[in-house]
Amino acid sequence: MTAYKQPVSVLVVIYTTELDVLLLERAAHPGFWQSVTGSRESNESMLATATREVGEETGLDVSQFRLDDWHKTNQYEIFTEWRHRYAPGITQNTEQVFGLLLPERQPVTISPVEHRQWRWAAWQEAAAACFSSSNREAILELPGRLANQKQVPQ
């Protein structure tokens, strides 16, 4: 029996206090830049999925930084070329958005199976580079989110 991916995933925007955003280029699609993404495995929580995916895709230890659930979900159609990963008839995915705030740019270690390269970019450039509209929209929210975080006592 084939183990299908769950149509439930995370998007984790990794950014700095200076609004630099980490982008990863998909290995199978040169020129497709994105933030960390990944599907939930088994019955793990979405927070656990976000933590695992950040570690797998960047080598960053989430516990050293600030990971926030943005309490935002997106639903989108799964690209036809990737539908074979899901059970027959599954065409939609639900994505939960998280943000990982770092004090400054960090070096990362990518998985060459998933990504070709990585780069840091200013938030406007990062948003423009993303192929995913939900990823682009999340990055465009960063200035407001960071301003709100600075107003809330920690």
Task: List the CATH number of the domain containing 63.
Answer: 3.90.79.10
Instruction: Catalogue the long-range contacts made by 71-80 (C-beta closer than 8 Å, 24 or more residues apart).
Output: 72/96, 72/97, 72/138, 73/97, 74/11, 74/134, 76/133, 76/134, 78/7
| Residue-range definition of the domain harbouring residue 75 | 8-147
Known binding residue 26? Answer is yes
pLDDT tens-place string over residues 98-147: 999 999 999 999 989 999 999 999 999 999 999 999 999 999 999 999 88
53 has binding-site annotation: yes
Q: What is the mean pLDDT of the chain?
A: 93
Q: What does the pLDDT average to over 84-96?
A: 93
Residue 105 within a domain: yes
Single pTM value for the model: 0.93
Cα–Cα distance, 37 to 41 (Å, whole number): 13
Within a domain: residue 39? Answer: yes
Instruction: Say if residue 132 carries a ligand binding annotation.
Output: yes
Q: Say whether 37 counts as a known binding-site residue.
A: yes
- As for how many domains the chain has, the answer is 1
For residue 9, say whether it is annotated as part of any ligand binding site: no
In a domain, residue 62? The reply is yes
